[in-house]
Amino acid sequence: MELTFSAKAKKIDDGMRVETTTRDFTLLIDEPPALGGTDTGMTPVEAVICALGACQTIVAFAFAEAQGIDLRGFHVTVDADLNTDGFFGKDPNVRNGFTEVRYEMHFEGPHSQEEFEKFAAYIEAHCPVGDIIANPTPIIRTGVVVHN
Amino acid sequence: MELTFSAKAKKIDDGMRVETTTRDFTLLIDEPPALGGTDTGMTPVEAVICALGACQTIVAFAFAEAQGIDLRGFHVTVDADLNTDGFFGKDPNVRNGFTEVRYEMHFEGPHSQEEFEKFAAYIEAHCPVGDIIANPTPIIRTGVVVHN
């Protein structure tokens, strides 16, 4: 089944505060002062790693029973490196996005290390946001609308 | 300069509600009822497109002046397709993540269509989240910790 998700982003005042909305939900994004913001919300790249952790968590609970796992608790920590020399144009060989993303999964339940490692690999292979980060996705500008 | 961003995700009650945190900021993620959730927050993939729109908005305002653009307003709409046959294992040829992401940029300011289209391409080329979506990023599981 093909689903289409939609979002809107709009700068809401001076500084760098951006209100993003999708359906009835809102997420305020900001930058730290060093990047012109007022640090009132997470940055866009932090929102991406929050989404990754949430996606892995949901996949874990959605598929645990079918994978024979009695999952009594789960959390995940995510770290991601970004070299700002790309974004600030100091080094054309450095990309703008993350150079690496790492995560550590914590499981609670009556299973062995080996069983949870196998389940961790299953989660990794079924996580939509993990797929979006790990693999290329076509991203297309459909229009530029000018309001004079 | 190399920065490392960190986040944590943890399921907080029955259903599919996940609390994600990064620094002092929190984003509650949920799923609609069809996916076992209670629809109290955006989904992980919606958080990704919110992050993309916010990132483009911040890049636009961060670089407008240096690019000779008098940017008086900006918003962007993002749409992303996802075929759930991948996630639900119905078709092994369908990926778990987005099949395509599209965005439409809206500019306010005293410039021509051509000038804003050139600036739109500049934003696209400098957006960290756009880079993360468009290009592959190494994503590494560093550990599986079992709490019995």
Burial of B85 (0-12, 13-18, 19+ CB in 10 A): middle
CA B83 to chain centre: 17
The per-residue pLDDT for range A60-86, each reduced to its tens digit, is 999 999 999 999 999 999 999 999 998
Q: Is A106 left (phi over 0), alpha (psi -120 to 50) or beta?
A: beta
pLDDT, position B143:
97
The DSSP bridge partners found for residue B83 are A2
ipTM: 0.97
Query: A8 or A35: whose pLDDT is higher?
Result: A8
Looking at the predicted structure, is the pLDDT value of residue B148 above 80?
A: no
pTM of the predicted model, to two decimals?
Answer: 0.97
Nearest to B54 among A9, A35, A103 (CB): A9
Query: CB B44 to CB A128 under 8 A?
Result: yes
pLDDT, position A66:
96
The DSSP bridge partners found for residue A73 are A108
Quickly state the pLDDT bin for B35 (edges 50, 70, 90): confident
Q: Mind giving me the DSSP string for B9-59?
A: EEE-SSTT-EEEEETTEEEEE---GGGT----SB-HHHHHHHHHHHHHHHH
Residue % of chain B over a pLDDT of 90: 91
Nearest to B10 among A22, A75, A83 (CB): A75
